[in-house]
Chain A
Amino acid sequence: METIALTIDGKKISSHTGTSIFEAARQSGIIIPNLCYHPELKPFGACRMCLVEDENTGRLMASCVTPVEPDMVVQTASKRVVKHRQNIVRLMIAEHPESCIVCSKGNRCRLRWIAAQLGIGETNLYHMPNYKPYEEANPFIIRDLSKCILCGKCIRADHELVVVGAIDYSHRGFQSRPATVHETGLEGSSCTFCGTCVSMCPTGALSTKNTYYVGTPEHETNSICGFCSVGCSLAVGTSSEKVIEVNPAHLPGSVNGATLCVRGHFAHDFLNSRQRLITPLIRKNETQGQNGLVPVEWGEALELVANRLIHIRTKYGPQSIAFLGSTKCTNEENYLFQKLARASIGTNNVDNGGYCSGQKNTHVIFDNMGGAYRTSRIADLENAEAIVVLGADPCHSVPVFSYYLKRAAKQGTPLIVVDPRHTELVDFASMWLRPKLNTDLELINALAAVLHDEKWHDLAYIDKFTKGFRDFRKSLKMLDLGRVSRLTGIDRNGLTEVVESLKDKKIVFVVGRGILLQKNAMQIVGAIYNLSLLTGSIGVKGGGVYFLAKENNQIGAFDMGTFPDMLPGRQTLGDENNRKNWERKWNVSLSRNPGLNMVRMVEAAERGKLKALYVMGENILRSLPQTERVRQALSKVDFLVVQDILYNETTQLAHVVLPGAAFSEKQGSFTNLEGRIQPFDPVTRPPGKAKPDWEIIDILQAKLEQTEAYGDLEKIRMEIRQHVPAYASLNGKRQTWIQERSEMDFSNGADSEGSVKFIPVASIKPESNDSDYPMSAIIGSMRYHLGSGTRSAVSKRIQGVDQEGRLEISYQDSITLKVKDGDKVTVTSRCGSLTRGVRIGKSLSAGHIFVPLGFNGNDAMNLLALSDYTEPDTPGWNTCRVKVKRV
């Protein structure tokens, strides 16, 4: 890059070839008026607002699309420039409708702002408004294209950033507008309602649909999205302590930049739901209040909790008490919560809702790599040489992550999707493999075998860093590829084709719930790990494994130790040294009992062994399979404490309900799926008497321990920094990264101790046919709900989309079952059944149905068995055998 010297507004500036005049000016603090420019979008030159004058030539040019040239003398606000700018704005305003004064874009409209800057009131031009239909049939976005100035930001955001392609310019001249295919409303197009275009639109042409507030928010505060594990940065707009609008914060280096997804952008109205808990409740008498729950003061509620827990511990011992932490609560809260369980009560019966997303199964890599390389950075996806997506539907589960994948694919990175469904991502893939259900283990092993057969493995890497390759290759050689083809339905040619496209490449693996909740998921993750080592893809640029965690702080909850046999920092409880260490730190003696996970807690309750359960921020009556069974089990518990933000299925059973605060109402930090620790401050106060969850636990532990409370979040952070090395950089101001123990130093080679081992090749037993349940249900996410949908289901906007969560069936099955779009069917498994409408889609093979999660009280879970899938050969939670009947 050559340095170029030029003068802008009398200021001597040095810039580089290829930089636009606009950028050069911006870098030296001169902001040129603009309407179609956006730092994340390719320059477009549509609005001509950024006109500048070259003094040498007298030329007027659009500075955002004109590169700097040596010795240019640029005026950004000369008389001539200003006059032209004024005229352009006058023309735009002449075409603008009168509804401008009541526009919901209000004071944030860029057109109005620029007009004001340029001193334009009356245009003195013939007013010729360009009326277009006002569209608001969908619950999220209002399109009033009369106000469109054709800047093209929405179209470019839609194509370049979120890679959806729902809209493009249609027609020419005066008629020209951004339009969907066949010019339907957005709801009839491929639009995902990510709202990215809404945040970018400079005028009121695109705006957020708000039912209870119109206008500009009074305050805007940055926060982190409370939904999925991508951890997008939000700018949350509030008025009178209510969240009224959310936009991307667009901070430098944030995961999401200028994008968001439908949940982050539009579903946060759940915060204002009337189902919010605003006071502590105690069950006194079934006839009083909300089925026996009556409002009390904090003092009474916490006194009761402390007394009952102590009483139960004395009577039945600490193992009769269990704690369920939350993947939605902060790191600090989860740390405190497990400390309450382990140190104050003396039990390791502590888990978190991440169980429902298969988080435990990701641990294979952590364990085998000695804690290193368990996360990879999302931004590094840009350097990926090849991407293999396994059992994941990121366009729905982690939308902002999927934008990275789609952008990589558009740039030509090979993208291989392995999924029984034709997911949205398949449209962007260079290859799609459709193995038979639950045969991924065989498929991945076979890929390793073929790759090794072709001698395309990375021998240098293997020699340098790994152990056990000889045994591994032996078992690969023994793999019966004929059997694999029969099981997976993918023949040798298919395998070879995949392997060819991976030749000499580092591979990025993206692993989703279809794998993590599959039967024997640990072995599958093991096979992925082997294939990564074989291709030299771990710990190097261009490779890596990305596990798609579901909830916003799923990773942090685990790191903080709300997991039975893992102490904070993911230290194994079984390890004597670890335990000793923490005993010293906390000055207590810790139980050796490995503790119960979520499913085992329910089983213990069923058997009458669990006397008290403290649930924080987890609606288990909605997120676990076999709801009825869970309900019965929980009603056997003597004392159930539920700390949550919403009145929900689980609070209804509680003896004590404690109102916590949502992420936007407290201080804390979340860790996203790539290990980015993001601190945040409150945006509003909690509603009513609700309190930040950490304060509640803090008061409680002080009561139990008869000690002083921390009283200050910083004190908790300090303790975490000191005791959890991975979180040594945790602080309240800036985002940081987890520090991973990296025993393999890939830059200098590893010593013999640093080597990592291949895992022995495992094999599956084919699933036997079940003629009573001839079909298979695939259970997966849809973008409108996160997880079990407790929060998204009370979002007014989300309620505005089809709440039925129609099942998808294939065309062939629709003929056999004699159903049409919208007809109702009953789906029955060995464990339960559900009835929903159907949608005939193109993504499934015959014999499969797709059941989206989150809808309809999350009844999808009724189909599954409440089984501890972390045990070998236990049914997974991704699919199940069903029969389908027309109602």
Chain B
Amino acid sequence: MHPPEIELNELDGIIERHKNGKWELIPLLQDVQATYGYIPPESITPIAEALNLYPSQVQGVVTFYSGFSLKPKGKYVCRVCRGTACHVKGSRSILRLMKRELELEEGETSPDYRFTLETVACLGACFLAPTMMINRDYFGKLSPTKLSSVLGEYRQKGNNKNG
């Protein structure tokens, strides 16, 4: 499987929606990220041209925020919390387990572009520690068993939709 081919027409549409406003760079990048799952590097120059910025400035913003990525990510982005509360509650072994299960190191994406493994500093849900997010869903009070079942679910979903 390949990273999703990027459809530049869609990019044109996104740029068109944002190009006349002020302070539109971040909302535009969010749209691009939501559409493609990442910010395709080849989109930097057209975005910069439309917003009258230098391409280097756009890249600066993209690389500054961890919410944006210049590399294609998996369909499911798993973010394991490594904050203090979660650490105390054993997030280190949750991460270890995730690595083993997905056969990925931190920051890596599976060759089939299904999973990406990342860590974050704190998900802001410390009372549920140890926590993790997959895309926009939270999972708290994780244990190895719970983790396996959650992952199983996502593997299942992936299989159903992508054959």
Contacts and interface: CB of A to CB of B under 8 A. Distances in A.
Contacts of B53: 165
A170 B60 contact: yes
Contacts of A172: 63-64
Taking chain A's interface residues, is the majority helix, strand, or loop, or is none over half, making it mixed? loop
B59 A179 contact: yes
A170 B64 CA distance: 7
Contacts of B55: 165, 181, 190
A148 to B, nearest CB: 15
Interface in B46-63: 53-57, 59-60, 63
B63 A181 contact: no
Contact of B54 (A168, A170, A182): A168
B128 interface: no
Interface residues of A, number: 16
Contact of B59 (A159, A181, A190): A181
B39 to A, nearest CB: 12
Contacts of B158: none
A179 B70 CA distance: 15
Interface in A162-179: 164-172, 179
Nearest to A166: B56
A180 B56 contact: yes
A810 B64 CA distance: 37
Taking chain B's interface residues, is the majority helix, strand, or loop, or is none over half, making it mixed? helix
B57 A170 contact: no
Interface string B14-44: 0000000000000000000000000001001
B41 A168 contact: no
B64 A171 contact: yes
B119 interface: no
Contacts of A165: 53-57
Contacts of A166: 54, 56
B143 interface: no
B54 A171 contact: no
Nearest to A163: B54
Given A165-B57, A168-B57, A170-B59, A181 B64 contact: no
A179 B64 contact: no
Given A159-B54, A181-B55, A169 B60 contact: yes
Contacts of A181: 44-45, 55-56, 59
Interface string A132-160: 00000000000000000000000000010
Nearest to B62: A170
Contacts of B54: 159, 164-166, 168, 190
A712 B10 CA distance: 73
Contacts of A179: 56, 59-60, 63
B121 to A, nearest CB: 12
Nearest to A169: B60
Interface string B56-91: 110110011000000000000000000000000000
Contacts of A180: 56
Nearest to B64: A172
Contacts of A189: 56
Nearest to A410: B52
A159 B57 CA distance: 10
Interface in B103-130: none
A172 B56 CA distance: 15
B56 A167 contact: yes
A366 to B, nearest CB: 39
A164 B54 CA distance: 8
Nearest to A428: B52
A182 B41 contact: yes
A295 to B, nearest CB: 53
Interface in A738-783: none
Given A165-B54, A165-B56, A181-B56, A170 B63 contact: yes
B64 to A, nearest CB: 6
Nearest to B45: A181
A190 B53 CA distance: 13
A171 B63 contact: yes
B56 to A, nearest CB: 4
A172 B60 CA distance: 9
B44 to A, nearest CB: 6
Contacts of B45: 181
Contact of A182 (B57, B59, B60): B59
Contacts of B64: 169-172
A697 B103 CA distance: 82
A627 B44 CA distance: 46
B3 to A, nearest CB: 17
A737 B56 CA distance: 40
Nearest to B54: A165
Contacts of A170: 56, 59-60, 63-64
Contacts of A171: 63-64
A167 B55 CA distance: 9
A168 B55 CA distance: 9
A856 B64 CA distance: 44
A124 B64 CA distance: 31
Nearest to A183: B59
Contacts of B56: 165-168, 170, 179-181, 189
B114 to A, nearest CB: 27
Nearest to A178: B56
A171 B59 CA distance: 9
Contacts of B44: 181-182
Interface in A560-581: none
A524 B15 CA distance: 41
Contacts of B41: 182
Nearest to A427: B49
A190 B60 CA distance: 16
A167 B63 CA distance: 13
A55 to B, nearest CB: 37
Nearest to A180: B56
A149 to B, nearest CB: 18
A180 B60 CA distance: 9
Contacts of B60: 168-170, 179
Contacts of B63: 170-172, 179
Nearest to B65: A172
Interface string A765-809: 000000000000000000000000000000000000000000000
Contacts of A168: 54, 56-57, 59-60
A190 B56 CA distance: 10
Nearest to A173: B64
A463 to B, nearest CB: 41
A181 B49 CA distance: 13
Nearest to A182: B41
Nearest to B55: A181
Nearest to A181: B55
Contacts of A164: 54
A168 B54 CA distance: 9
A654 to B, nearest CB: 50
B49 to A, nearest CB: 8
A4 B59 CA distance: 42
A166 to B, nearest CB: 6
Max chain A C-beta neighbours (<10 A), residue from B44, B53, B56: B56
A329 to B, nearest CB: 40
B136 to A, nearest CB: 23
B23 to A, nearest CB: 17
A182 B57 CA distance: 11
B37 to A, nearest CB: 19
In the A-B complex, the 5 residue pairs with the closest CB atoms = A165-B54, A168-B56, A168-B60, A181-B55, A170-B63
Interface of B: 41, 44-45, 53-57, 59-60, 63-64
29 contacts: A164-B54, A165-B53, A165-B54, A165-B55, A165-B56, A167-B56, A168-B54, A168-B56, A168-B57, A168-B59, A169-B60, A170-B59, A170-B60, A170-B64, A171-B64, A172-B63, A172-B64, A179-B56, A179-B59, A179-B60, A179-B63, A180-B56, A181-B45, A181-B55, A181-B56, A181-B59, A182-B41, A189-B56, A190-B55
Given A159-B54, A170-B63, 7 more contacts: A168-B54, A168-B56, A168-B60, A170-B64, A179-B60, A181-B45, A182-B41
